[in-house]
Amino acid sequence: MILSLLGRSALRPNRNNNIFLNTDLENQFKAFREKAADAMPGSDWTPFEKNRSLPPERADIVIVGGGVVGWSIAYWLKQKEMIRDGVRVLVVERDPTYSQASTVLSAGGIRQQFSLPENIHLSMISADFMRNINEHLSVLNEDPVDLQFNHSGYLFLASEKVAHIMEENYRTQRYAGAKVSLLSTTQLKEKCPWINTDGVVLASYGLENEGWFDPWMLLNAFRRKAISMGVYQCFGEVTGFRYTTNTMTTAEGDTVDFRRIKYANVQMPNSLEYQPVECAIVVNAAGAFSGKVAEMMGIGLGLKDTIAGIPLPVEPRKRFIYVVHCPNGPGLDTPFLVDYSGVYFRREGLGGNYIAGMSPEEEEEPETNNLEVDHQFFQKIWPHLAHRVPAFECLKVTSAWAGFYDYNTFDQNGIVGMHPLVNNMFFATGFSGHGLQHSPAVGRAMAELILDGGFKTLDLSAFSFKRIMTKEPMLERNIV
């Protein structure tokens, strides 16, 4: 056994000639076995020299988009496969620097204060996952995952007009099991003496499992673990699909095209070279750019009144985050405060820095062809901030950045599930700013949908494409 161990590791030849001859023979047998395996169909061997950065020619599941949702799905697929190398998963990411990815540009908050029970459950499951993240995502001999989770909670403020909505949401949240408490104005003033409670009638504070964390650490934890489990990663752009079409006629005589993706064309960055990857299932987790990927399959390009004419209603929306410095601002106990005017801010680090932002009105949406920051927009945020927290009257903007929301224009909730007309394309997109906090739970739900055929632990059928076809929106009232 020691001899075979020696033969299988890359040791230098020993001085003793006899042992060297034995290992040489073993190596030759090993090489012969590998060549024989490569000659069998289904292996990756080709006689031609190929570019190392190309993806494999065949993959079972291709995940378009290497953000936190895409890698979460890849991890859970590998976690749930029943046998070793049961599914070959390929994650295709366009940008190796993640410079425009929504994941890394996000504020990184997680909250349970939603109005839909499904969203609350998604957040609670994701928080449980993050609490036990080292049980799930630790890799042998690597550092343990440290998300730098700040447990400061979210604080929502409500004016007269929306107080009843907040109370209803509170009931839904408590029923779903989230630990939230309602605060009156006096209690709020006692808890946060730095707040100006003008106009605030009710406040809702999350006691547990709420706060913010580092999204890059979560993304890398998923990626590292998934790669260690055998997920293939490719940096390239999916530029098109090759599909077969099956035309069927309905009872009324209309024709419907059912498409099945056969190949996904992955183009290398800065090159015309592309690799058609033969795949069984494609998962669209491209975030803000999922609409473009869906268009490649012809979703939305059919006749106006047919199902084929309904596009994927996900488009990129630019949101700004400003880093401000205020030496006399609220201290370590600052929660993630969301005002009823739409302005939010949270503490960043220990040096008196805060990050603030606001969702613009529908008419004032900035254009999305670049990630330039509009510094004039801060002039709209500042009055609200200074009104709510008097200490913020003397603050200085030190930095700012912009990121995209994968905004679902239909009802601002995620779209999870299969498309009715494209038989093997699954969606996990459109979360409109909540993708990061729901990513572990959505990844598990997608893996169950793909491998088990249906949702097992959490039923997300309310988020399927069906509601877009029947035009029944599931509105989430607590969008920030």
Residues that bind other proteins (CB under 8 A): 1, 4, 8-9, 84, 131, 135, 138-143, 146, 148-153, 179, 207-209, 211, 213, 220, 224, 227-228, 230, 331-333, 350
| Cα distances (Å, whole numbers) of residue 147 to 217, 337, 434 | 6, 21, 17
Amino acid, res. 363: E
By beta-carbon proximity to other proteins, the closer residue of 51 and 369 is 51
Please report how close the Cβ of residue 192 comes to other proteins at its closest, in angstroms. 9
In the bound state with other proteins, the residue whose beta carbon lies nearer, of 248 and 350, is 350
Hey, what amino acid is at 98?
Y
Whichever of 43 and 255 has its CB closer to other proteins, that residue is 43
Neighbours of 363 (CB within 10 A): 5
φ/ψ (deg, to 5) at 232: -85, 140
Provide the 8-state DSSP code for 307. G
Name the minimum Å distance from CB 27 to other proteins.
Answer: 13
Cβ atoms of residues 73 and 61 within 8 Å: no
Cα separation, 419 vs 431, whole angstroms = 17
> 415 - beta bridge partners?
429
- Shortest reach from residue 9's CB to other proteins, in Å: 7
Nearer to other proteins, 139 or 280 (CB): 139
Strands 415-418 and 237-249: unpaired
Task: Supply the minimum distance, in Å, between the C-beta of residue 112 and other proteins.
Answer: 13
Complex with other proteins: residue 138 or 172, whichever CB lies closer? 138
Q: In the complex, what is the shortest distance from the CB of residue 283 to other proteins, in angstroms, rounded to a whole number? A: 21
Provide the minimum distance between the beta carbon of 84 and other proteins in the complex, in angstroms, as a whole number: 8
Nearer to other proteins, 40 or 332 (CB): 332
In angstroms, how far is CA 135 from the centroid of its own chain?
21
- Which amino acid does the sequence have at 131? R
Q: Which is nearer to other proteins, 151 or 477 (CB)?
A: 151
Nearest in space to 434 (alpha carbons), one of 168, 128, 122? 122
Could you tell me how many residues make up the chain?
A: 480
Helix (H, G, I), strand (E, B) or coil at 81: coil
Our CB check for other proteins shows the closer of 147 and 293 to be: 147
Q: Report d(CA 391, CA 184) in Å as an integer.
A: 22
CB nearer to other proteins: pick between 234 and 416: 234
Place of tokens 């408590």: 174
CB of 229 to other proteins, least distance (A): 8
Non-local (6+) Cβ contacts of 341 within 8 A are 358, 384
Q: Which residues of 134-146 are buried (b: 16+ CB within 10 A; e: fewer)?
A: eebbbeeeeeebe
- Structure letter (DSSP) for residue 14: P
Q: In terms of CB distance, is 78 or 319 closer to other proteins? A: 78
Q: Which helix (H) or strand (E) holds 24?
A: helix 17-39
Please, what is the minimum distance in Å from the beta carbon of residue 265 to other proteins? 24
Q: Which helix (H) or strand (E) holds 36?
A: helix 17-39
Indicate the residue among 207 and 475 with the shorter CB distance to other proteins.
207
CB of 158 to other proteins, least distance (A): 21
Q: Is 294 helix (H, G, I), strand (E, B) or coil?
A: helix
DSSP H or E run through 232: strand 232-235
CB of 153 to other proteins, least distance (A): 8
Residue 324: count other Cβ atoms within 10 Å of its Cβ. Answer: 23
| Residue 444, C-beta contacts closer than 8 angstroms, at least 6 positions apart | 72, 76, 125, 457, 458
Shortest Cβ 396–other proteins spacing (Å): 20
